[in-house]
Structure 1
Amino acid sequence: MRFFLLAFSVTMIFSQITQAGVMLQGFYWEAESTPEKPWWDKLSAQSNELAKAGFTALWIPPVLKSASGGLSRGYDPYDDYDLGSKDQRGTIPTHWGTRDQLQRTVAMSRANGMQVVLDLNVSHRAGDAGDKKYSYKDAYGVDGKGRFPKGPDDFSRDFPYGRVFNFNSNYVMDGLRASCDWLVKALGTQGFRIDSAKEIPFDFLKNLLSHGELQKQYVVVENWDGTDVLYNYVKNGLNSRAGAFDFPLWSTLRDMASGAGLFDMKRLVKAGLLGRAPDLAVTFAENDDTDRGFPTIKNKELSYVYILTSEGYPSVYWKDYFVYGMKNHIDRLMWINGALANGATEYRWADDDLLVYERTGSPGVVVGMNDNMQSSRTETVQTHFGPNVELQDYSGGQPNVKTDGEGKARITVPPNGYVAYSVPNVQYAPQIIPYSVTQEFAGANDLDILPAQNGKWNKTGYIYAQEGTLLEWEINYERNNWKQSSQYLMRISGPDNKVVVEKAYDGATQVAKGSIKAPATGWYLLESAAKDVAEPVRFWWKQTYQAPQL
């Protein structure tokens, strides 16, 4: 189903992005990224593989230039308008790569049908000289002329990762609203993960997320807290505007994995935020923070069984999938998630060792989890499938069973294992629907892209497009002190460096629009210039295109 976010309420945004979906945390703390082999290029190259596996969303790392420059993973953000496009903090790229490479990652993820969720920090900034003063380079590389400078009055206190914003400041609110709006338009994302949300007052965050393009974004917050506090934060404090990572459930799953068979499986019944508000719960078995600080060392398989067959919006950790050897296990569970695990949850059995629950939608699935390390368990449980129906175990480990005259099934769950019973021979494959992306290139003195200059072509940006697809542009530009002969000029050059389109627009043009078909797959250079103008021309170039899937 295509996501027409403009047409729906916030509640509908949540249901669309999370429905029958699985998110991948597309990075980890020590992920290797160099200028020669940037992480953005790795994500682009693997986007088709991820979509085919069943991932419907990609959570990408922080994108802003940070205090530690190319060494930083992005959690010490410095400049709100530097995506790896200004020569600051000793580098042009961020740790993960350049703005051009980042925009290609988003575009290729969209071409492979995935949503893109951006890791965003709006709680603090870092990198001043000890004076709480921040100034940035502009598009010409001039120090102190960049947009959204900050001073001592814009911060309230310090915490381990930088200066916490003064959330009572209108200047801070206006600046973050504008910069986050610019960020969404520049990349074409579908969601945010809000880092360190506990530092941000409810009202400030609600206000921020109600502005411009932000109000169309799915949002999930990071808040390490108990179920009651977390529920109050998202349900009452944010009026369900955001979901939350389910840390209480993660803690319970970690206890199960480390319990060596002594964990009480009844603790999973309605555990965590998932048990209180499944529509707001983003469930996970591990992430980059927990893996570094409180890792689940072994027996994580049942944790993934639970999050990928339960309600909520499951998130898979990169290292679990690609590094820790769990790919085949998770792939099978993602198939079960997409093919079978639909509808509300009914708990059918719970004791110290065995938990059985059922997703009662169509076709639905009965899931049994046994944490006893030595012994299998056999029990008769109620199902929604009706009387005398044959059921197949999609975990691949147990023989078919048949419900009795009351719709009950006798199932056997192996030691430290699971079963997933549903109607036989379900056929399913993840459907990849390619989407185009719209990315805006804003040219202005105080940003990272030069305005249109008189008689001089300057780079506006790059896009990575699929042969035969439409390249559509919509450009707004200022006309300050224009003469009748003044013009804004645009051109696009193809992968062979030959100009494929060049246009001149005068002061009478309301909005510069047009389209061409991409003659080849590859990088396209967008350039702007001006003719017979008294001063550089600010512009907003919206480029819609479709990237290749591979």
Structure 2
Amino acid sequence: MKRNRLLIIWVLSIILGLSACSTDDSGEPVDPTDDISEPTPQPQPEPQPIDLSAYDNGNGVMMQAFYWDVEPRFGWWDNLSDKVPGWADAGIDRMWLPVATKGQSGGYSMGYDVSDYYDFGNYEQHGTVETRFGSREELENLITTAHDNNVEVIADIVINHNSGGGLEYNPYREKETYTLFDEEHGNASGMFNRNYEYFYPNSVSEYDPGSLFYEETNLDHHRDYVQEWLWKKDNSVAKYYQNVMGFDGWRFDYVLGFEPWVVKAWLDEVGGFSVAELWDGRASVLRDYVNETGSGAFDFATFYKLEEGLDRHEDLNRLNDDMLWKTHPEKAVTFTANHDTEKDSNEDNYIKSSNKMKAYAFILTHPGYPTIFYSDYENPDFQEEIKSLIEIHNSIAVGETEVLYVDDDEYVMKRSGTDTNPGLILYISISNSTKRRTVSSNWNNVTLMDYSGNSTYNPTSDENGAVTIEAPANGYAIWSITE
């Protein structure tokens, strides 16, 4: 019995020895101490953004280079000269200057009380030589600096009302009026001298379109003399600004104060970029104006829909209403703030600071020519975000526009891109929580990212382009493809 037990032990030891010497699929022996478990999954690389600079689409952005009552007085032109190179690097291609000539308020004037159209800070009148913004030499240096940085300079043109002339008896009003503009009375340059015959009413014009400002000095554009000095003569306001001062285009102030044919005649004579301040929130009115004049117009329809949707009514359905850019994108100059809206005490005329970036995200992803307000860009809380939005606008904000979804607190819009440009999807939310929504994109089996940097989510579209994107609480995201 004992010998049988020893035999059994010997056989078992041989079997165990053979089993400890297994082979892999190639037949080679495998060390029993080797780890032959499944390999540990390796982390997937983070999606990489596309190089937006490779998608330069030729778009640009205009800077409104002032706010109401800018400081420092007499140093504004130099201040802007220092900022122009940085603006150009950020993608700004035009800047709109305040009225550059002497107003009745002299060194305190923002220029809208225009007195001498040819005094750029080089004549002693109204208590100062320099304008509020500085000297003529400093203005000329600013314009040169802008052109050296491929930035066009837009002049603010006030051709409705004048201010700062001398008193004279006006037989058409049967009283004394401040309608005498000559070398001793508010027009030291001696160019475009005026008297009561060139303001409404006069010997040939009884019609007075009226004015919210200085109605007794409302220029009559039907008078040949006025037309000659404003745009026809070789040294007219238009040609002097263009050919001598170097301005590249025009922002027409308060065009409700004169007929549309005036702007058309000006542009037919001298051309140049043009945008009219027609303060009306109806897209149909703006549309009629640009068709009649050939000028662009500030898209007040978009401004008010943004204010209503984000602020007043908190209903993003308003963002799907009629706006000028929908029919005339090349003529619609969009904006979220300007010198008037920011100083206006009417809360329905400005967009709250807490909603500004959502408004900028809208105008910088939709068609139209966006304007950045100086005070917003120079706000350290906003600047980097605005720079990022400008980069997106000047690269992937292209293609047909389609609203994919809209309700009271969500708005999703797609730019279709082109054969060589991926386009984008904008998702705005005014909800207090993160929102996600599945939409139809133009991208199949592609991982996306938010180029605004407001979301770290990286969804992947399916084979049909369907993808679930998100918007942060009370914020926005801008989706496009990754490498």
Deviation readout 1:190-241 (Å, 9 max, x if unpaired): 2111001111212222112211xx22x1000001112111111112x21xx2
Matches of 1:159 and 1:357 in 2, distance apart? 41
5 Å-filtered alignment, 1:351-370, equals 351-361=407-417, 362-370=421-429
5 Å-filtered alignment, 1:225-304, equals 225=280, 226-235=282-291, 237-238=292-293, 241-259=294-312, 263-293=314-344, 294-297=349-352, 298-304=354-360
What fraction of aligned residue pairs are identical, expressed as a percent?
Answer: 32
Question: How many residue pairs end up in the alignment?
Answer: 394
Contact 1:344–1:360 (CA<8 Å) still a contact in 2?
Answer: yes
1:28 aligns with 2:74: no
Matches of 1:83 and 1:56 in 2, distance apart? 24
Match of 2:268 in 1: 210
Match of 1:105 in 2: 142
Matches of 2:276 and 2:83 in 1, distance apart? 26
Secondary structure of 1:83 counterpart: coil
Distance 1:364 1:168, change over 3 A: same
Deviation at 1:324, TM superposition (A): 7.0
5 Å-filtered alignment, 1:4-83, equals 19-35=58-74, 38-83=75-120
Q: Which amino acid aligns with 2:427?
A: G
Contact 2:115–2:186 (CA<8 Å) still a contact in 1?
Answer: no
Deviation at 1:242, TM superposition (A): 0.8
Match of 1:479 in 2: none
Match of 1:326 in 2: 382
Secondary structure of 1:93 counterpart: coil
Contact 2:126–2:186 (CA<8 Å) still a contact in 1?
Answer: no
Distance 1:82 1:410, change over 3 A: same
Deviation at 1:137, TM superposition (A): 3.3
Secondary structure of 2:92 counterpart: coil
Deviation at 1:275, TM superposition (A): 2.4
5 Å-filtered alignment, 1:48-447, equals 48-130=85-167, 131-137=177-183, 146-156=190-200, 159-162=211-214, 163-177=217-231, 178-211=236-269, 214-215=270-271, 217-225=272-280, 226-235=282-291, 237-238=292-293, 241-259=294-312, 263-293=314-344, 294-297=349-352, 298-323=354-379, 325-361=381-417, 362-372=421-431, 374-385=432-443, 387-396=444-453, 397-425=455-483
Deviates more, 1:357-366 or 1:290-299: 290-299
Deviation at 1:405, TM superposition (A): 1.3
Contact 1:26–1:58 (CA<8 Å) still a contact in 2?
Answer: yes
Contact 2:99–2:156 (CA<8 Å) still a contact in 1?
Answer: yes
Deviation readout 1:446-481 (Å, 9 max, x if unpaired): xxxxxxxxxxxxxxxxxxxxxxxxxxxxxxxxxxxx
What is the TM-score normalised by the length of structure 2? 0.78
* Structure 1 outlier segments of 4+, above 6 Å: 141-145
Matches of 2:319 and 2:275 in 1, distance apart? 22
Contact 1:135–1:145 (CA<8 Å) still a contact in 2?
Answer: no
Cα-Cα RMSD: 2.1
Distance 1:143 1:391, change over 3 A: closer
Matches of 1:405 and 1:144 in 2, distance apart? 72
Distance 1:287 1:19, change over 3 A: farther
Deviation readout 1:315-334 (Å, 9 max, x if unpaired): 01111111373112211111
Deviation at 1:310, TM superposition (A): 0.8
Distance 1:143 1:413, change over 3 A: closer
Deviation readout 1:102-159 (Å, 9 max, x if unpaired): 0111111111121211111111211123434333339xx9987712111111011563
Distance 1:206 1:288, change over 3 A: same
Deviation at 1:30, TM superposition (A): 2.2
Contact 1:383–1:409 (CA<8 Å) still a contact in 2?
Answer: yes
Contact 2:309–2:317 (CA<8 Å) still a contact in 1?
Answer: no
Contact 1:41–1:101 (CA<8 Å) still a contact in 2?
Answer: yes
Distance 1:222 1:335, change over 3 A: same
Matches of 2:153 and 2:300 in 1, distance apart? 22
Secondary structure of 1:278 counterpart: coil
Secondary structure of 1:349 counterpart: strand
In structure 2, runs of 5+ residues without a counterpart are 1-56, 168-176, 201-207
Contact 1:86–1:137 (CA<8 Å) still a contact in 2?
Answer: no
Structure with greater proportional helix content: 2
Match of 2:27 in 1: none
Contact 1:25–1:318 (CA<8 Å) still a contact in 2?
Answer: yes
Matches of 2:325 and 2:244 in 1, distance apart? 34
Distance 1:377 1:145, change over 3 A: closer
